[in-house]
């Protein structure tokens, strides 16, 4: 039995690769592991069968036999540890790549999420207008640091790794903000990630949920 992942039956971005099942799909595509997808409505995500898989009633989850995982980063790390291709072979480089995975999720992504939340859910607040430039400047601090760390290299640690997969996906959330354009090496980095055949297969599979009509709730 291939592993089963969960995804939105009806994603707010209409399958444009922003929901976090994209990370899991991309990782599985990179390592050549076939998988099945269980599509869930927002109601089903909060019902007992899914809450047994995910304590917060979210997607994505990953099931492989007796193993049930939640948290996209933990799932990607699990896949990377069990298959070749997503972590460097040497111990030092491997530890560095895992550190960058945590950096993507714990240091770079949070201010980006704050901006998304402000734009989507806090627009009507009296302080919304004043808060946006503050949030954008916080992101600029992280992007500047990341840009410096990446420098002229293609990927964060040696060749492409799970660290790049998570970082590129987190950065994609800035599309349309203009912020990435201020850091040409980061724009090129995201484009490089998106040009990978495995990324394209994962993206097309997520988009197909909508174009095939299965995404209608
Ligand atoms: N830390 C967890 C992880 O990385 O797995 C966060 C999981 C998470 O936020 N899941 C979201 C979810 O299930 C979907 S990915 N939300 C429903 C809920 O909490 O009830 C976040 C997401 C959703 C939609 C878009 N979009 O349409 O642009 C982008 C990202």
pTM for the full predicted model? 0.96
Report how far residue 29's alpha carbon sits from residue 132's, in angstroms, rounded to the nearest whole number: 36
CATH 3.40.50.12780 for domain 91-196: no
Exposure pattern of 96-115 as b/e (b: 16+ CB <10 Å)? bbbebbebbbeebbebbebb
DSSP state at residue 107: I
Strand 4-8 relative to strand 36-40, pairing: parallel
CB-based contact 11:215 (threshold 8 Å): yes
Which of 15, 20, 51 gets mutated to test ligand 1 (max ligand atoms within 8 A of its CB)?
A: 20
Angle between helices 162-172 and 72-82 (to 10 degrees): 150
Atom of ligand 1 nearest to the CA of 18: 29
The residue contributing the CA closest to ligand 1 atom 12 is 58
Looking at residue 213, its pLDDT comes to 66
CB-based contact 31:86 (threshold 8 Å): yes
Report how far residue 77's alpha carbon sits from residue 205's, in angstroms, rounded to the nearest whole number: 21
Tell how far the Cα of 159 is from the centroid of ligand 1, in angstroms: 28
Looking at residue 216, its pLDDT comes to 44
Tell how far the Cα of 85 is from the centroid of ligand 1, in angstroms: 26
- Ligand 1 lined by 13 (C-beta under 6 Å): yes
pLDDT in tens, the chain (217 residues): 999 999 999 999 999 999 999 999 999 999 999 999 999 999 999 999 999 999 999 999 999 999 999 999 999 999 999 999 999 999 999 999 999 999 999 999 999 999 999 999 999 999 988 999 999 999 999 999 999 999 999 999 999 999 999 999 999 999 999 999 999 999 999 999 999 999 999 999 999 998 886 544 4
Looking at residue 217, its pLDDT comes to 45
- Ligand 1 lined by 12 (C-beta under 6 Å): yes
- Which residues 6+ apart lie within 8 Å of 27 measured at CB? 75, 76, 79, 80, 86, 162, 165
CB-based contact 14:28 (threshold 8 Å): no
Which of 6, 16, 19 gets mutated to test ligand 1 (max ligand atoms within 8 A of its CB)?
A: 19
- Ligand 1 lined by 11 (C-beta under 6 Å): yes
Looking at residue 5, its pLDDT comes to 98
Q: What are the structural domain ranges in the chain?
A: 4-85+198-211, 91-196
Query: What kind of architecture, by CATH, is found in domain 4-85+198-211?
Result: 3-Layer(aba) Sandwich (3.40)
Tell how far the Cα of 15 is from the centroid of ligand 1, in angstroms: 12
Q: What are phi and psi of 4, to 5 degrees?
A: -115, 130
Looking at residue 212, its pLDDT comes to 83
- Ligand 1 lined by 44 (C-beta under 6 Å): no
CB-based contact 186:146 (threshold 8 Å): yes
């Amino acid at each position: 039995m291939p592993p089963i992942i969960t995804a939105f039956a009806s994603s707010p971005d209409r399958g444009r690769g922003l929901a976090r099942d994209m990370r899991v799909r991309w990782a599985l595509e990179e390592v050549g592991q076939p998988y099945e997808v269980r599509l869930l409505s927002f109601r089903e995500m909060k019902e007992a069968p899914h809450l047994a898989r995910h304590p917060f009633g979210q997607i994505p989850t990953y099931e492989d036999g007796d193993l049930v995982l939640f948290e996209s980063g933990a799932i990607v790390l699990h896949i990377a540890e069990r298959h070749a291709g997503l972590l460097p072979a040497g111990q030092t480089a491997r530890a560095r790549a895992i550190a960058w995975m945590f950096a993507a999720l714990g240091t770079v992504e949070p201010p980006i999420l704050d901006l998304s939340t402000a734009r989507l859910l806090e627009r009507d607040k009296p302080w919304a207008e004043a808060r946006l430039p503050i949030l954008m400047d916080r992101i600029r601090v992280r992007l500047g640091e990341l840009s410096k760390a990446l420098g002229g290299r293609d990927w964060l640690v040696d060749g492409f790794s799970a660290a790049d997969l998570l970082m590129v996906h987190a950065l994609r959330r800035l599309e349309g903000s203009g912020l990435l354009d201020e850091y040409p090496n980061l724009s090129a980095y995201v484009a490089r990630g998106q040009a990978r055949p495995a990324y394209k297969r994962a993206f097309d599979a997520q988009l197909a949920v909508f174009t095939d009509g299965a995404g209608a709730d």
